[in-house]
Amino acid sequence: MKSIAVLPTICCSPQTEPLTVPERDELAARFKALADPTRVAIINSLSAADEVCVCNLTETFELSQPTISHHLKVLREAGLVESSRRGTWAYYRLVPDAIAALRGALGP
């Protein structure tokens, strides 16, 4: 007979503070932005450097510049990345507080 693992039941109040509606909505938007494998990969690439030129992202992912720009726009609107311009190129970096909020939402 197969044994089934039983998880403990929490009978008391939650171990974390409940999210406010704005916090919940902001986290949901950020997780939604990460629902695409390319965007997860872009976040992963950005985590390896202080900032990355959009030209490098286009080469790395072998996608057209408009496609990369679309993915970066979604990540920027979700507050996960920010950019600065230098000449013709845009340089992207992670927003540390936003990444920390995602980590915090997943557990201690």
Q: For residue 1, is it within any domain?
A: no
CA 2 to each of CA 5, 52, 78, 83: distance values in angstroms, whole numbers, following the listed order? 10, 51, 45, 54
Strands (E), the chain: 52-53, 81-86, 89-94
Q: Between 6 and 73, whose confidence is greater?
A: 73
The domain that contains 93 carries what CATH number? Answer: 1.10.10.10
pLDDT in tens, 27-85: 899 999 999 999 999 999 999 999 999 999 988 988 898 999 999 999 999 999 999 99
Q: What domain count does the chain have?
A: 1
User: What global pTM score does this model have?
Assistant: 0.79
CA dist 6 and 14 (Å) reads 19
In a domain, 94, yes or no: yes
Range of 86's domain?
Answer: 21-105
- The reply to whether 74 falls in a domain is yes
